[in-house]
Amino acid sequence: MKIGILEGDYIGPEIMAEAIKVLNAVSQKRKLDVELVDLEVSGKAFDKYGKHLPEHTLEAAAKCDALLKGPFGGPTEEINHPKWSGLERGAILPLRKNFNLYANLRESKVFKPLIHLSPLKQEVIDGVNILIVRELTGGMYFGEQREEIVNGERRWSDSEAYSESEIRRISITAFKCAMQRRKKLTLVAKSNILKNSILWREVFNEVAKEFPDVTTDYMHVDNASMQLVLNPRQFDVIVTSNMFGDILSDEAAVLPGSIGLLPSASLGESSFGLYEPIHGSAPTIAGKNMANPLSMILCIPLMLYYTFNMKDAAALVDNAVEQVLNAGFRTKDLFSANDDPSKVLGTVEFGNAVVEAVLKS
């Protein structure tokens, strides 16, 4: 397996190093043949080439089976610096579009030993496991943008359009995911207002006929955002547009207690996938051995599962992480009053604990 490494900025290299250690441990256990390819991107590429995503990076990435991506971005006070300001449209969106990664999977699940960290009451959050399937290469993110002067004032616009085929393929992905889970799928849109949401409902209902075992329902996005905090357990899989998915997946991501816990997968038609944490590059804690590497480490089982179809190897890592948390080990962001302060580990030490658990299992 050939894996492209886009380590990213600030805490990116630190958490990536831990994920790679864990991958090496799995490959040692399961005799996998892993080749890692370093790919120049984001801040470092900008310093060297004046571009966030140079052509040679894309070419090398295309030769890989999967990409592991760390968070991209700089500090808030440098937000207007060219090194960081064009990053979204200069690297993040082109990466998604270039590899046609139209399905973004973000799972928010509660880790039992961390349940007290949730902003919701324990009885509300207990047992929550929600998979948001977000459309990633269409909609408002890729719609027409205009800067006009109308009646002597600036009038700027973005537009959202979806074609049937785009809705169909993401719906199929979501139904397939639901089949592997609790077989419940909720479509979230805004069909009381938006034309393209009506199309989402129609195409979704057509696809539903091919998956009779999946129970479906529909929610307007405003209601869905409320239901996510009122009664998150009612959800299994949610499928939605790029923009709504961006917003709802952040909301869902904090339910387990720390945004540092969750990985995501971006997939297309083939087994090629891009795996990344859903949080940013956290410049304020970079270089301090403080970052929680779990979101990056948990990209490994996602990659093993979706790209390489290695369910056992994926479970090996998931179980190792659970063991480490069950044993009371924490990173700083996960520490709370009832925890044993001697079990608060740095980024590297936490990674070591997961590696040890993998090797012992």
Please identify which of the residues 10, 102, 141, 305 carries the catalytic annotation: 141
Residue 250 bears catalytic tag? yes
* Cα torsion angle, 124, 299, 46, 272, sign: negative
Pairwise CA distance, residues 267 & 289, whole Å: 31
DSSP percent split of the chain into helix, strand, coil, nearest 5: 50, 20, 30
Nearest CB to ligand IPM, comparing residues 88 and 251: 88
Residue of closest CB approach to ligand IPM: 88
Residue 33 bears catalytic tag? no
Beta-sheet pairing, 103-109 with 66-69: unpaired
Nearest CB to ligand IPM, comparing residues 14 and 276: 276
139: left (phi over 0), alpha (psi -120 to 50) or beta: left
Q: How many residues does the chain have?
A: 361
Nearest CB to ligand IPM, comparing residues 88 and 318: 88
The partner in contact with residue 88, picked from ligand IPM, Mg ion, none with C-beta cut-offs of 5 to 8 angstroms by kind, is: ligand IPM
3-state secondary structure of 240: strand
The partner in contact with residue 92, picked from Mg ion, ligand IPM, none with C-beta cut-offs of 5 to 8 angstroms by kind, is: ligand IPM
Pairwise CA distance, residues 233 & 108, whole Å: 11
Residue 339 touches Mg ion, criterion: CB under 5 A: no
DSSP 213-224: TSEEEEEEHHHH
- Whether the CB-CB separation of 287 and 293 falls below 8 Å is answered with no
Please identify which of the residues 65, 246, 318, 339 carries the catalytic annotation: 246
CB of 250 to ligand IPM, least distance (A): 7
Please identify which of the residues 9, 102, 190, 236 carries the catalytic annotation: 190
Residue 141 bears catalytic tag? yes
Residue 88 touches ligand IPM, criterion: CB under 6 A: yes
Nearest CB to ligand IPM, comparing residues 274 and 353: 274
Nearest CB to ligand IPM, comparing residues 92 and 355: 92
Residue 219 touches ligand IPM, criterion: CB under 6 A: no
- Say how many Å lie between the first and final Cα of the chain, rounded: 23
3-state secondary structure of 66: strand
Nearest CB to Mg ion, comparing residues 246 and 356: 246
309: left (phi over 0), alpha (psi -120 to 50) or beta: left
Pairwise CA distance, residues 128 & 245, whole Å: 18
CA 89 to each of CA 95, 96, 116, 180, 261: distance values in angstroms, whole numbers, following the listed order: 10, 11, 37, 34, 26
Residue 23 touches ligand IPM, criterion: CB under 6 A: no
Residue 195 bears catalytic tag? no
Residue 109 bears catalytic tag? no
- Whether the CB-CB separation of 298 and 350 falls below 8 Å is answered with no
Pairwise CA distance, residues 76 & 283, whole Å: 9
How many residues touch ligand IPM under the rule CB under 6 A: the total is: 3
CB of 74 to Mg ion, least distance (A): 17
Can you read off the two tokens belonging to residue 72?
């991209």
Nearest CB to ligand IPM, comparing residues 66 and 354: 66
Can you read off the two tokens belonging to residue 266?
């971006």
Of 65, 126, 246, 333, the residue at the interface with ligand IPM (CB under 6 A) is: 246
CB of 39 to ligand IPM, least distance (A): 18
Of 41, 61, 91, 92, the residue at the interface with ligand IPM (CB under 6 A) is: 92
Residue 246 touches Mg ion, criterion: CB under 5 A: yes
CB of 193 to ligand IPM, least distance (A): 22
The partner in contact with residue 237, picked from ligand IPM, Mg ion, none with C-beta cut-offs of 5 to 8 angstroms by kind, is: none
Please report, as ranges, the residues that interact with ligand IPM according to CB under 6 A.
88, 92, 246
Please report, as ranges, the residues that interact with Mg ion according to CB under 5 A.
246
Catalytic site positions: 141, 190, 222, 246, 250
